[in-house]
Amino acid sequence: MLKYPVVILTALNLEYQAVRQKLASPQTHLHERGTRFEVGTVQGASCRVALGLTSKGNHSAAVIAERAIQEFSPLAVLFVGVAGALWDATRLGDVVMASHVYAYHGGTSEDDGLKARPRVWEAPHGISQLAAHVARLNDWADSTSRPEDAPQMRFGAIAAGEVVQNSRISAEAKWIRQHYNDALAIEMEAAGVAQAGHLNGAPVAIIRGISDRADGTKNSTDDRSWQPQAAANAAAFAIRLAVELAGEQEKTVVPRDDSAPSVDRLDRHVANTAHNSTVGIMAGSVTGSSVHINTAPEESGPLNLFAALHDFRENLTRHRTEGELDQDTYREALTDLESAIRSTGEQTSDSSKRAAMTLRRLRGLVVECPALMAELAPLIAAAGDRA
């Protein structure tokens, strides 16, 4: 069974039930502060999902999202539910995943009007790429739908505010469409979840089914009939994405027995460094001109991880020197790595969990460098085993 689940959060019970019915044998998981989650596996897959209800609004969504991240150290956080479309081109029942999120209520009120000062969060590159792949596969929607009625997957901006938008002609509606005219949908939780993910290093995806047009028809009979379908469509895509995320985790996690470097690799390292430097050898011996290396794993797992993280830091710097990482990415990656090293050295009750979370965030930064990704995978697994 995979160690890290995918967290799925919803604001409404209708949305919660749309996800829950796709889980096998969900079990209650109670947070120490009373928040209830249900943890189950996706039917027919090994993907674990931790499902939670946030209630409406960015503030409550942010609090519950951070609580879920700290509790489960998830592969990703998916916020799933319904939203209103801002433009007629987006059909009712279609699903929108946020390429970026606008917190549109930021602004300054001046004599000549209200000036927009939004906060913006971009979706992490890796999860956006995976979602686009799932959309291209086009096997996520309810198979009973006729082709012409099947929901379409759309990627674009989502606007998140603090009030229900249900007018096309109000001053605020016109202001939103003027300043955020690339936004496909509008809702009330994405900004809070995106901020929680940003602060905790967890990838976040906002996935919304379109149930209304935010044009005065919300809460009509037509809207109420579309809400369950839109929620079901968003849940279907989210579950499909969660399964793909779990599949990628299975591919990257390396069994601990296979994570030790081979003798051949150590020989090459010694040969490459012996030309003009002193070679330090731990757990080995020198007889004459021969070097004997003890390749058996040390009993002290934490010390192995601590040393491996220092080795990774050297390789990180080398890849920066060789131009495979840009300066900004290198700086952020180095900050996370130093934090993981400190956590590993502390050896307190929660230090291993913090180290694992930090290394998983670091993985997202070096995703464009396969060599570093491959080296990082067993370190994440080792940190997780200690947690």
- Name which of 72-86, 112-126, 336-350 the model is least confident about: 336-350
pLDDT for the residue 279: 45
Q: Which residues, 6 or more positions from 291, have their beta carbon under 8 angstroms from its beta carbon?
A: 270, 279, 281, 284
Chain segment 67-84, per-residue pLDDT in tens: 999 999 999 999 999 999
pTM over 0.95: no
d(CA 102, CA 74): 24
d(CA 192, CA 57): 8
pLDDT for the residue 2: 57
Per the CB < 8 A criterion, the answer to whether 91 and 167 are in contact is no
- pLDDT at residue 294 tops 60: no
pLDDT for the residue 349: 63
Stretch 310-328: mean pLDDT, rounded?
A: 86
Dihedral in degrees, nearest 10, Cα atoms 221, 226, 227, 229: 150
DSSP 252: H
Chain segment 237-259, per-residue pLDDT in tens: 999 999 999 988 776 544 444 44
- Give residue 260's pLDDT band: very low, low, confident or very high (50, 70, 90): very low
Task: Please indicate whether residue 214 or residue 11 has the higher confidence score (pLDDT).
Answer: 11
H or E segment at 153?
strand 153-160
pLDDT for the residue 257: 43
- pLDDT at residue 7 tops 70: yes
Stretch 270-299: mean pLDDT, rounded?
A: 45
Per the CB < 8 A criterion, the answer to whether 307 and 313 are in contact is no
